[in-house]
Structure 1
Amino acid sequence: MFTREGILLETGTNELEIVEFTIGNNRFGINVIKVREIISVIPTTKVPFSHPHIEGVISLRDEVIPVVNLAKVLHLPEQYEETSEKYIIAEFNMLKIAFHVGNIAQIHRISWEKIEQPNDLAKNLENLITGIIHFDEQMILLPDFEKIIFNINPNTGISKDRIQSLDARDRSTKTILIAEDSSLLRELLKETLEKVGYVNIEICHDGQEALDKLIAFSEKGNVTEHVQLVITDIEMPKMDGHHLTKRIKENDKLKKLPVIIFSSLITNDLRHKGEKVGANAQVSKPEVSELVKYVDQFIL
């Protein structure tokens, strides 16, 4: 049995560790920070009328955990060797999920700078691949696990219903910079903030773009004349949110900026990572009302 204790990296280094696994002849990876443990396949209990990608549920230390058939999700043949197939027990969005995969290969340490976003031709129809890593003349694909779960159960993500439940307010002159690599989430965050009056939004696709923009603002004078608050995801290519936060808080011209980390990876076990790099607040997706509460607190 695999557990993640003892292998997590120092916070803010802009590195991650990837658990490589296979489905048939295809190589995939998942960020170690999402993985609670890896276990051998155990019997599942079928759930009537469940989503076709849900194999059933398992009981693990008195917790009932749904099992997602990743081969079905990714439209791949279910080619497993019974002696090696595994369940990856993952935790994000305040949920625990088991992903049924093939063999567990190894753990790779890599910089976020080395992860490429798939271009439009490389993306599959459902945009379920969020990154590509080149290894040994082959590629490891990084599935978008949050989107996979959102497609199965939309209540796990930021939804139109969550946004509509927020009270509309008067327009604010404050500017918020968002660093988020998901185009869907960028639009939903923008819509959320506009609904509550924050209509001046600077959008960045990753941490590096966000840092470059903030430094450019600081060279024109006081950065807070241009941006009053930063909201960042954690998992992003080129530069992750922990490293972005660390770079902001170590820069004398930027460190006064409040930074809110808004990520599916905010758990009790991992909250210390954001604290260590100086985040002013951390909110777990999809709790947009809590996010708005912190935005109001820091910039009103």
Structure 2
Amino acid sequence: MNNNILLESGTGEVEILEFIINDKYYAINIIKVKEVINANNLTKLPESHPAIAGLTLYRNKIITVIDLKYVLEKQHKSEIESTIILCQFNKIEVAFSIDNIVGVHRIKWDKITKPDDISTNSLVIGNIVLDNKIILLLDFEKIVTDISPSTGISENKMVDIDYKDRSNVKLVLADDSPLIRRLLKDTLIKAGFKNIKIFDDGKQVLDYLLKLVDKKNEKFIEDVNVLITDIEMPQMDGHTLTRKIKEHNILKRLPVILFSSLITNDLKHKGESVGADAQLSKPEIGELVACIDSFT
């Protein structure tokens, strides 16, 4: 997969890789995809999670392969040879077996609608209507975290953080995942934060901030001290949100922390190009608290 085709940051667009499982259409943000390969040498693991198809060897690395058909349909793939999407996020490399690749599409984030199911168990983060069909944008981080909780955000990652009274710090948090929003709120409260406003997409955050500026002008900073935002969100992504804030003559004072599974050494330039003040990869919740402290 040639990541040089990826878009400039903050354009409000995303490139998705569309694929098929059991004649249903799904998608992944292409920024997470390293390569698409065919594998016929999966090594089965004894007594492993039923969603784990096995291990494959990729460029002298052993990669865990997750059977998406089992995750979504509770059916195992019967074919010996599999099409595999090799991904990198949350500081891990992991692969997903699928049926077939359809292609790559460039679309606007504001054309991706939020799913009706807003429960923490949903594996869908957005619905895309394209060519008279519905494509489901999947929450791959949640899929992996459900199988291996240690790879995601959890309260036990707070063990090295000393509690202190941080109730004077006013945070705004944006993340489209109900699970991540809940875990982030719980862990930030355990660190001593009490004043946290939570939104589930970037457009909601920008609307809130612009209303604050209309009401209080430069004094908007009295109501919000730091913004923590995910990157991958329907309606408005975190890169676009950051760019709009940093291009605003008043809002540009607000420290913006990008907190996303998509923060890697290869992709940090995207956050830098839109003016992010800090970038941290999920699931490093401890580093997030230290970063907030550095701005307050």
Query: What is residue 155 of structure 2 aligned with on the other side?
Result: 160
User: Residues 212 and 254 (structure 1 numbering): CA distance in 2 closer, same or farther, change over 3 Å?
Assistant: same
Alpha-carbon distance, 1:76 to partner: 5.5
Q: 2:215 aligns with which of 195, 209, 220?
A: 220
Structure 2: distance between partners of 1:51 and 1:233: 29
Structure 2: distance between partners of 1:171 and 1:18: 39
User: Residues 190 and 126 (structure 1 numbering): CA distance in 2 closer, same or farther, change over 3 Å?
Assistant: closer
Alpha-carbon distance, 1:91 to partner: 0.6
What pairs with 1:121-140 in structure 2 (closer than 5 Å)?
126-140=121-135
Q: Percent identity?
A: 49
Structure 1: distance between partners of 2:41 and 2:240: 41
Q: Comparing 161-170 with 183-192, which one deviates more in the overlay?
A: 161-170
Query: What is residue 249 of structure 1 aligned with on the other side?
Result: 246
Query: What is residue 17 of structure 2 aligned with on the other side?
Result: 19
Query: What is residue 259 of structure 1 aligned with on the other side?
Result: 256
Query: What is residue 97 of structure 1 aligned with on the other side?
Result: 94
Alpha-carbon distance, 1:195 to partner: 1.7
Q: Contact (CA 8 Å) 1:234, 1:240: kept in 2 or not? A: yes
Q: Deviations over 1:111-159 (max 9, x none)?
A: 1101111113xx7994112211111221111111011000100001111
Secondary structure of residue in 1 paired with 2:173 = strand
More helix by share: 2
Alpha-carbon distance, 1:5 to partner: 2.4
Structure 1: distance between partners of 2:155 and 2:222: 32
1:200 counterpart = 2:165:
no
Q: Comparing 45-54 with 9-18, which one deviates more in the overlay?
A: 45-54
Give the unaligned 5+ runs of structure 2. Answer: none
Alpha-carbon distance, 1:163 to partner: 3.0
Q: Comparing 189-198 with 176-185, which one deviates more in the overlay?
A: 189-198
Please give the TM-score of this superposition, normalised by the length of structure 2. Answer: 0.95
Query: What is residue 292 of structure 2 aligned with on the other side?
Result: 295
Q: Which runs of 4+ in 1 moved over 3 A?
A: 76-83, 123-126
Structure 2: distance between partners of 1:37 and 1:143: 18
Structure 1: distance between partners of 2:244 and 2:291: 21
Alpha-carbon distance, 1:79 to partner: 6.5
Q: CA RMSD in A?
A: 1.8
Give the unaligned 5+ runs of structure 1. Answer: none
Query: What is residue 48 of structure 1 aligned with on the other side?
Result: 46
Secondary structure of residue in 2 paired with 1:74 = helix
Structure 1: distance between partners of 2:271 and 2:78: 38
Q: Deviations over 1:75-112 (max 9, x none)?
A: 155577778x4100011000111100111111111111
Q: Contact (CA 8 Å) 1:35, 1:88: kept in 2 or not? A: yes
Q: Deviations over 1:219-243 (max 9, x none)?
A: 1222211111100000001000000
